[in-house]
């Protein structure tokens, strides 16, 4: 059981990092589509879509779907709530590094 | 037995850090993701090369034009062609790297570039009213204005753009300081800067980030 918990904890960190990466990427670019995020973060399709769903469910990002010719294109952008959450998270990290 | 983590609402979206080392690691993740998102840029190497070639054609044409107003008009047409070229290639490249050409980042870049181009336009207007005042030293003014635009854009973009900006700044200064009648005149500097610099920049960008 201890080994399982350890694995879970490890997995948790990686997952959170992907979400952090997604938010950082979207904050920098303003908006991006799925393939762009995949290339920028170097993660798999399934992994990325799971985290995008979590971020969307939390209201941190908005998803817009449109057709370019016949191809569907999904773009993601941060919501004001997501921007605020990201900024306060970065602030927290900075103060942690300063005081830690 | 390993179960995937349920991502329910009770858990924080970002992990709460517990050590300074972890905080630093997270800041690194952020920095890297942000850099990669702006550096996978829509700047097109091919566009640089074509713009450079257009500038060289412009030099060949204006070499035969001795009317200073007509000269400036020719360059204005060349510049408009360069804008169209860059727009088309950027659109193509944006599609390739999965970015929208009119993304907020692109708008930032356009806003950063605008003052330099407006200053250049002001010099050109002045030139049309007083063609003899600047003569072909108008070219130096263009280089300096363009350098301003590039250096502003460089703040939000890859380092190569800033390097190109500094190169134009140097070329503009050199062009101003060249004594009249010297073989390397403003016209040749125009070919070197707007032609040569763009081609070198385009080739480098294409090789480094893709065409």
Task: Give yes or no for residue B56 having a pLDDT over 90.
Answer: yes
pLDDT at B194 over 50: yes
- Residues composing chain A: 100
- Return the pLDDT at B179: 86
Between B28 and B57, whose confidence is greater? B57
pLDDT over 60 at A3, yes or no: no
pLDDT tens profile A7-48: 444 455 556 788 989 999 888 877 888 888 887 888 888 989
Mean local confidence (pLDDT), B66-75: 86
**What is the rounded distance in angstroms from the CA atom of residue B172 to the CA atom of residue B174?**
5
DSSP states of B69-133 as a string? HHHHHHHHHHHHHHHHHHHHHHHHHHHHHT--TT-HHHHHHHHHHHHHHHHHHHHHHHHHH-HHH
Q: Which of B19, B32, B97 sits opposite A100 (nearest CB)?
A: B19
Residue B52: C-alpha distances to residues B65, B88, B165 (Å):
20, 15, 15
Q: What is the pLDDT of residue B39?
A: 56
The Cβ of residue A79 has, within 10 Å, a number of other Cβ atoms equal to 16
| Token pair belonging to B142 | 């263009």
With bands split at pLDDT 50, 70 and 90, how would you rate the model's confidence at B101? low
Structure token pair of residue A94: 């900075």
Strand partners, A68: A71
Q: Which one-letter DSSP state was computed for residue B41?
A: -
Q: How many CB pairs under 8 A join A and B?
A: 120
Question: B36: helix, coil or strand?
Answer: helix
Q: Which of A73-87, B88-102, B185-199 has the lowest mean pLDDT?
A: B88-102
Q: Class of A2-99 per CATH?
A: mainly alpha
**What pLDDT is attached to residue A85?**
87
Chain B residue numbers with beta carbons less than 8 Å from the beta carbon of A22 are 33
Q: Round the average pLDDT of chain B to a whole number and report it.
A: 84
Grade residue B175 by pLDDT with cuts at 50, 70 and 90: very high
Q: Does A45 touch chain B (CB under 8 A)?
A: no
B98 → closest Cβ in A28, A36, A60: A36
């Amino acid at each position: 059981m201890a080994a399982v918990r350890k694995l879970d904890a490890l997995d948790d960190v990686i997952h959170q990092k992907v979400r952090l990466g997604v938010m950082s990427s979207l904050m920098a670019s303003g908006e991006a589509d799925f393939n762009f995020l995949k290339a920028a973060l170097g993660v798999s399709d399934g992994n990325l879509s799971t985290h995008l769903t979590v971020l969307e469910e939390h209201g941190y990002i908005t998803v817009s779907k449109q057709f370019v010719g016949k191809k569907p294109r999904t773009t993601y952008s941060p919501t004001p709530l997501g921007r605020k959450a990201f900024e306060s998270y970065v602030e927290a990290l900075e103060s942690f590094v300063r005081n830690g | 037995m390993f179960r995937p983590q349920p991502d329910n609402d009770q858990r924080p979206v970002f992990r709460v850090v517990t050590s300074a080392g972890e905080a630093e690691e997270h800041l690194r993740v952020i920095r890297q993701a942000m850099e990669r998102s702006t550096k996978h840029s829509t700047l097109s190497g091919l566009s640089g090369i074509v713009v450079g070639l257009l500038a060289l054609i412009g030099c060949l044409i204006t070499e035969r034009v001795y009317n200073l107003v007509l000269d400036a008009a020719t360059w204005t047409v060349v510049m408009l062609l360069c804008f169209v070229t860059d727009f088309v290639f950027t659109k193509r490249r944006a599609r390739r790297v999965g970015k929208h050409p009119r993304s907020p980042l692109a708008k930032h870049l356009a806003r950063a570039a605008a003052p330099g181009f407006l200053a250049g336009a002001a010099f050109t207007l002045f030139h049309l009213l007083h063609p003899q005042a600047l003569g072909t030293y108008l070219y130096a003014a263009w280089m300096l204005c363009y350098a301003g635009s590039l250096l502003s854009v460089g703040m939000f973009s890859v380092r190569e753009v800033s390097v190109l900006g500094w190169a134009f700044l140097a070329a503009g200064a050199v062009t101003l300081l060249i004594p009249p009648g010297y073989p390397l005149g403003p016209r040749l500097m125009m070919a070197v800067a707007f032609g040569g610099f763009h081609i070198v920049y385009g080739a480098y960008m294409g090789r480094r980030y893709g065409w």
